[in-house]
Structure 1
Amino acid sequence: MHAVAELAGCSTATVSKALNGLPVSAENLRRVYAAAEQLGYVPNLAARSMRQEKTMTLGMVVNFEGHPRSELLYTFQDLIANMESAGYSVLLSIVRNEGLDLDTLLQRFLAHRVDGLFYWQARPSNALAWYERSNIPVIAVGFRDPECAQLPFVTLDGAPAFAAACRDLKALGHRDFAEIVVDRADPLYKLYPRMRGVRWREIRIGHGEQDLRNAVEKLLTGGAAPTVVFAAPPTSTQLLSIAGELGLAVPGDLSVVSYFDLEDAGLFRTPLSAIRTDYDKLGDAVATAMLDALSGRQVGDVMVPDSAHFVPRASTGPARARPAG
């Protein structure tokens, strides 16, 4: 501990606090863990696992590059209810563009001595090695970066619903598809097998509504523009109103599909076609995987079947006719 304190440039009291879940600044927390990592120092985390002490708390890090979407609430409802029924409390932290960095949040959960971690949109982090050394299970949820392949992964099988949407749209004459992607988020269409005879474009925008308006004006008008657009809320709902303001008819000029089925999507002036997902099934599957891991059972990747389907509504229709020549 003295060596860690010297390398980190802080007191042994700060080192003790940082590694035992007591309040320290984010900067000190980073410095302590960096020094401990460099020195190969593993504090009481490993000793705790040997003594089989449990805090009956779990961490949940939600890593969204943008704003967390409302479907998370549906998943949380079932996941947290399952864990609370088993006697656990769940501590939630969301990675934001302007907030604490990912490593610091993961380190804080370690310091709080969580028994396990739910890691949404799992991406590489130096802190993950500490969880592995301490035998603290980490379950990746929704997305897992290839560099995190060691983590068991639970996700929904959205491929059949996506394929069904593409088949329906292709049958309506659509060949040029686009997905609107906000900020640095990963495009969802790339996660699924592509249909032959269909071209995809990626339209990347910022968070502001004006960014979407500019994209519609520049990229979604004219004879060569895509005839169908996929997007997640709130972009998909904003797209309906902006298209109308700019003189684009939905679905006459542009068909729109939402990646998430809002409860009132069928009540819009133009009811919104969507991929409906049973997020409660995801919550149940994630909770089951964590309880298995906490019981010492081997946990592998889980693809939740029959968990999504395409709901066509009035926002999708036949592709507009291409201009002659």
Structure 2
Amino acid sequence: MTPRRRATLRDIAAALDLSVNTVSRALAGKDAVSPETRERVRAEAERLGYVPNTMARSLVQGNAMTLGLVITNPSNPFYARLISAIEERGRVHGYALMLMVTEDSVDNERRVVDELMRWGVDGVLAVPVQHGFDHWERLRKSGTPVVLLNRGLPGLETDLVGVDYYDSARQATEHLLAGGARELYLVEEDLDISPVAERVRGFRAVLDEQGVTVRDDHMVKVPTRRREASSQPWDPVDSYEIGRDLAARIGPGAAVLAGNDYFALGVYRAFTEHGLSVPGDVRVAGHGDHAFAAYLAPPLTTVRLPATEVGAMAVDRLLERMSGESEAGSPQRTLLPAELVVRTSTMVGGR
């Protein structure tokens, strides 16, 4: 069966004995076309199944009405919410979204940047791999505005909108100490990226300020899975194995801060199998406030990350750069605060 040819402006014009220019102006709602002609054109376009060719229009108008979004792994729950927020905000302003995935590979990221340049997107929002920025600089110098999400790139003069992970870790650590925890462990991803580094920095800062000793074996690293294509970026089995080791040596009244809720999930099971009670023997807090956090037994204290707010603000910042409103201004770095959500996993005796 031969595919049906896509209807064009010329087809509508021929059917109505009008010029292509008149049909184009009618569909665009131009005043120079009478209401009766506009209605005839609209009805014929609907009958023929006419859909405007956005690529052709972009060549004429000089813009693609498309934003590029570069994400390391869309199965990360935070980035899934971020994508939705960016798509919604862009759509309000008439922009489509081109989603590209790097799987935290700098080689993939370079290819993605080349693709975005070939497609001629109007602006780019990106979670960078954080290994080299020459390709991003090339994109920016080509005239395409770039706003970074959640991770910075020292040396690249561009805007950043993200989460204040230093403060989020401080909030959780202060809460655990205020609840009476006598020794603290941090379970974090073994990945050299700024969100992890900032959480470690916030955790250490609070303990240093309060005179709490942090030994090297209190900083526990979970192997990263982010470079496995199309995988869940974290798997509870990794932190479960680490939790089994922790359970064998952790002291009474200790607390664990997990870099994300999936790590907390694995630790929960390991502690329970070892006969440790949460929060009676060990307090546990996470990061992310993923959908399952409130339904664990006990419900998990965690840090809620402002994914929607980051996405909306990043689109607004990018549109400002695209319009030239902020062209003369220096790049802005905006880190939005997270919210500590206290639940039963850290509450002992009502604290």
TM-score norm. by structure 2 comes to: 0.67
1:240 alignment partner, one of 248, 251, 268: 268
The aligned runs of 1:109-188 (5 Å cut-off) are 109-121=116-128, 123=130, 124-148=132-156, 150-184=157-191, 186=193, 187=196, 188=198
Matched, 1:301 2:332: yes
Q: CA deviation at 1:289?
A: 0.4
- Rounded Cα–Cα distance in structure 2 between residues aligned with 1:99 and 1:145: 13
Alpha-carbon spacing, 1:209–1:158, altered in 2? closer, same or farther (3 Å): closer
The 1:164–1:128 alpha-carbon spacing in structure 2 relative to 1, beyond 3 Å, is: closer
Give the equivalent residue in structure 1 for 2:200: 190
Aligned alpha-carbon RMSD (Å): 2.9
- CA gap of 1:52–1:221, structure 2 versus 1, over 3 A, is farther
- Percent of aligned pairs with the same amino acid: 19
Q: 1:18-53 deviations in whole A, cap 9, x for unaligned? A: xxxxxxxxxxxxxxxxxxxxxxxxxxxxxxxxx982
Deviation string, structure 1 residues 122-157 (Cα, Å, up to 9, x no partner):
522331232132111110110113243x12111133
Q: Is 1:278 matched with 2:306?
A: yes
Where structure 2 has 5 or more consecutive residues not aligned to the other structure, the ranges are 1-59, 226-234
SS at match of 1:263: coil
Q: Tell me by how many angstroms 1:292 deviates.
A: 0.3
| Alignment match, 1:221 | 248
Give the Cα separation in 1 of the matches to 2:163 and 2:259. 18
Please say which structure displays the higher CA radius of gyration: 2
Give the Cα–Cα distance (whole angstroms) in 1 for the partners of residues 90 and 213 of structure 2: 43
Please list every run of 5 or more consecutive structure 1 residues that lacks an aligned counterpart in the other structure.
1-50, 320-325
Alignment match, 1:258: 286
Aligned residues: 265
Cα separation, partners in 2 of 1:161 and 1:182, compared to 1, 3 Å:
closer
> CA 1:84–1:182 in 2, change beyond 3 Å: closer, same or farther?
same
Please tell me whether the aligned partners of residues 165 and 199 of structure 2 are also in contact (alpha carbons under 8 angstroms).
Answer: no
Question: Is 2:225 aligned against 1:204?
Answer: no
Q: Answer whether contact 2:247 2:270 (CA < 8 A) is retained.
A: no
**Which residue number in structure 1 is paired with residue 259 of structure 2?**
231
Q: Deviations over 1:204-248 (max 9, x none)?
A: 122455432332232443256963232313222222122212322
Q: Tell me how far 1:175 sits from its aligned partner.
A: 4.5
Counterpart amino acid of 2:109? Answer: L
Partner Cα distance (2:169, 2:143) in 1: 37
TM-score (norm 1): 0.72
Shift of 1:164: 3.0
Which residue does the alignment assign to 1:4? none
3-state SS of paired residue (2:137): helix
1:98 Cα offset (Å): 7.7
Paired position in structure 2 for 1:7: none
Cα distance in 1 between the residues matched to 2:147 and 2:106:
23
8 Å CA contact retained: 1:272, 1:313: yes
State the distance in 1 between where 2:140 and 2:293 align: 43
Cα distance change on mapping 1:97 and 1:143 into 2, 3 Å: closer
Change beyond 3 A, Cα 1:175–1:62 = farther
Hey, what's the Cα distance between the residues in 2 that align with 1:198 and 1:317?
21
Distance in 1, Cα, partners of 2:347 & 2:249:
18
Q: Does 1:315 align with 2:345?
A: yes
Instruction: Please state which structure has a larger fraction of its residues in helix.
Output: 2
Whether the 8 Å contact between 1:78 and 1:280 is mirrored in structure 2 is yes
Cα offset, 1:191, TM superposition: 4.9
